[in-house]
Copies of this chain bind each other. A is one copy, B any other.
Amino acid sequence: MRRRINKVLIANRGEIAVRIARTLRELGIAIVAVYSEADAEALHRRVADESRCIGPAPANESYLSIDKIIEAARATGADAIHPGYGFLAENPKFVGACEEAGLVFIGPSQAPMFELGDKARARKIAEAAGVLTVPGLAEVADDDLAAAGTKIGYPVLLKPSAGGGGKGMVEVHAADEMKEKSQAARRIAKAAFDNDTLIVEKLVRPARHIEIQVFGDGQGDAVALGERECSLQRRHQKVIEECPSPVVDEAIRERMEASALSLTKSLKYAGAGTVEFLLGPKGEHYFLEMNTRLQVEHPVTEMVYGVDLVAAQIAVAEGNGIPQSLRDAKPRGHAIEARIYAEDPEAGFLPTPGPVLAVHRPEGPGIRYDGALEGEGEVGVDYDPMIAKLIAWGPDRDSARRRLLRAFGDLALLGITTNSGFLVRVLEDERFAKAKFAIDSLEGWIAEDGFFDDPNDKALLYAAAACAFGKRATRSGEGSEASMSADADVYSPFDREGPWRALQGKAD
A482 at the interface (CB under 8 A from B): yes
A342-373 at interface with B (beta carbon < 8 Å): 357-361, 363-371
Smallest distance from the beta carbon of A359 to chain B beta carbons, Å? 7
Number of copies: 2
A1-54 at interface with B (beta carbon < 8 Å): 19, 22-23, 25-28, 47
Whether the pair B22, A478 counts as a contact (CB closer than 8 A) is: no
Contacts beyond the supplied A23-B365, A308-B395, A476-B481: 13 A-B pairs with Cβ under 8 Å: A25-B406, A25-B409, A26-B406, A27-B402, A28-B402, A306-B332, A357-B475, A358-B479, A361-B361, A363-B374, A375-B478, A376-B475, A473-B481
Smallest distance from the beta carbon of A242 to chain B beta carbons, Å? 17
Whether the pair B308, A365 counts as a contact (CB closer than 8 A) is: yes
A183 at the interface (CB under 8 A from B): no
Whether the pair A479, B481 counts as a contact (CB closer than 8 A) is: no
Q: Which 6 A-B pairs have the closest CB atoms?
A: A477-B477, A358-B478, A476-B476, A477-B478, A26-B402, A22-B364
Whether the pair A481, B475 counts as a contact (CB closer than 8 A) is: no
Whether the pair B471, A481 counts as a contact (CB closer than 8 A) is: yes
Smallest distance from the beta carbon of A305 to chain B beta carbons, Å? 10
A208 at the interface (CB under 8 A from B): no
Smallest distance from the beta carbon of A480 to chain B beta carbons, Å? 5
| A22: contacting residue among B307, B365, B368, CB under 8 A | B365
**In the complex with contacts A476-B477, A477-B477, A306-B491 CB distance below 8 A:** no
Whether the pair B480, A478 counts as a contact (CB closer than 8 A) is: no
- What is the interface of chain A, defined by CB distance below 8 A to chain B? 19, 22-23, 25-28, 47, 299, 302, 306-308, 311, 325, 330, 332-333, 357-361, 363-371, 374-376, 394-396, 399, 402-403, 405-406, 409-410, 414, 471, 473-482, 489, 491
Which residues on the B side are within 8 Å of A394 (C-beta)?
A: 308
CA distance A358 to B366 in the complex (A): 25
CA distance A431 to B365 in the complex (A): 29
CA distance A125 to B22 in the complex (A): 49
CA distance A22 to B399 in the complex (A): 12
Which single residue of chain B is at the shortest CB-CB distance from A306? B332
Which single residue of chain B is at the shortest CB-CB distance from A358? B478
Smallest distance from the beta carbon of A471 to chain B beta carbons, Å? 7
Whether the pair A365, B299 counts as a contact (CB closer than 8 A) is: yes
27 pairs of residues in contact across A and B, judged by CB atoms under 8 Å: A19-B364, A25-B406, A25-B409, A26-B399, A26-B403, A26-B406, A299-B365, A302-B365, A307-B395, A325-B395, A357-B478, A358-B478, A358-B479, A360-B478, A363-B370, A364-B370, A365-B368, A367-B368, A375-B477, A376-B475, A471-B481, A473-B481, A474-B480, A475-B480, A476-B477, A477-B479, A481-B491
